[in-house]
Amino acid sequence: MKAKNREQSLSDSRELDGSYDPLTDSTEDDFELSTVCHRPEGLDKLQEQTKFTKKELQVLYRGFKNECPSGVVNEETFKLIYSQFFPQGDSSMYAHFLFEAFDTNKNGSVSFEDFVMGLSIILRGSINDRLNWAFNLYDLNKDGCITKEEMLDIMKSIYDMMGKYTYPTMQEDAPREHVENFFQKMDRNNDGVVTIEEFIESCQKDENIMQSMQLFDNVI
């Protein structure tokens, strides 16, 4: 058989298969060679940079590596992992915001260092550090202030995690109302945005928030 016929038959079978994308001229079943394999810096260096002990870092890394053998988490895996904890609702939006917050150098993947830095602030940092981190999470476009739209997105993502089967039944405007309350509490000068100073100040005044921030001391 001539080579031409073989090519012809190959393309015919590709057509039947449906795995061939003529636009991009690539076959779907080519496996991507995952050359990405990131190794974190040494344990000692990480220990200096974060406030975890060696053993804690070891435990964290073992868990991290188990789920992401290549050493970095991309957003899809991140969302998948996070959704395992919330079987009833849809946690993908909140996971997306979390991913943005952890991915400090904005390269689309979270390495172990990013992961551990973030955790160090949340679990071992001072209250102010934690509040700062939370502010950073809310401030989607990182411009230093939280607008109502940003807060609404965050609130919706939190409410989405509850899912459909709730008591009382989830109303459509529950997130919006919650955002209004939030702004009433936080926005001192009523300019429609919450700056970092306003945020920290209001949080420090609120007993509940201060107390709940203490929750993170014993997580690891």
Partner 1 sequence: MAAGVAAWLPFARAAAIGWMPVANLPMPVAPTEKNKRQDELIVLNVSGRRFQTWRNTLDRYPDTLLGSSEKEFFYDEETKEYFFDRDPDVFRSILNFYRTGKLHYPRYECISSYDEELAFFGIIPEIIGDCCYEEYKDRKRENAERLMDDQEDNKDSKLPNMTFRETMWRAFENPHTSTMALVFYYVTGFFIAVSVITNVVETVPCGSSPNQKDVPCGERYTVAFFCMDTACVMIFTVEYLLRLFAAPSRYRFMRSVMSIIDVVAILPYYIGLVMTNNEDVSGAFVTLRVFRVFRIFKFSRHSQGLRILGYTLKSCASELGFLLFSLTMAIIIFATVMFYAEKGSTSSKFTSIPASFWYTIVTMTTLGYGDMVPKTIAGKIFGSICSLSGVLVIALPVPVIVSNFSRIYHQNQRADKRRAQKVQKARLARIRISKTGTSNAFLHSKRNGLLNEALDLTGSTEDERHHNKTTSLLESQHHHLLHCLEKTTNHEFVDEHLYEQNCLEGALQNYTSRSPSLSSSGGLTGTCCSRRSRRKSAHLPNSAMSPGPPHGLQELSAVHIHRSDRPPLSTSRSSLNLMPDEAMRLNCKSGQITTAIISIPTPPGTTPEGDGHGPPSPSVQTTAGSSVVKVSAL
Contact residues for partner 1, defined by CB under 8 A: 55, 59-60, 62-64, 66-67, 81-82, 84-88, 94, 97-98, 115, 118-119, 122-123, 130-131, 133-134, 137-138, 151, 154-155, 158-159, 161-171, 173-174, 177-178, 181-182, 184, 199, 203, 207-209, 211-213, 215-216, 218-220
C-beta of 21: minimal distance to partner 1 in Å?
26
* Sign of the torsion angle spanned by Cα atoms 81, 86, 88, 89: negative
- Which token pair is 72? 């970095």
For the bound state, the minimum distance from the C-beta of residue 52 to partner 1, rounded and expressed in Å, comes to: 11
Residue with Cβ nearer partner 1 (145 or 170):
170
Whether the Cβ atoms of residue 144 and residue 195 lie closer than 8 Å to each other: yes
CB-wise, 20 or 140, nearer to partner 1? Answer: 140
d(CA 108, CA 75): 7
- Nearest approach in angstroms of CB 23 to partner 1 is 31
- Taking a C-beta distance cutoff of 8 angstroms, is the pair 102, 115 a contact? yes
DSSP per residue, 188-217: SS-SSEEEHHHHHHHHHH-HHHHHHHGGGG
**Least CB distance from residue 202 to partner 1, whole Å?**
8
- Residue 196 tokens, joined: 């970092």
The smaller minimum CB distance to partner 1, of residues 3 and 215, is found at 215
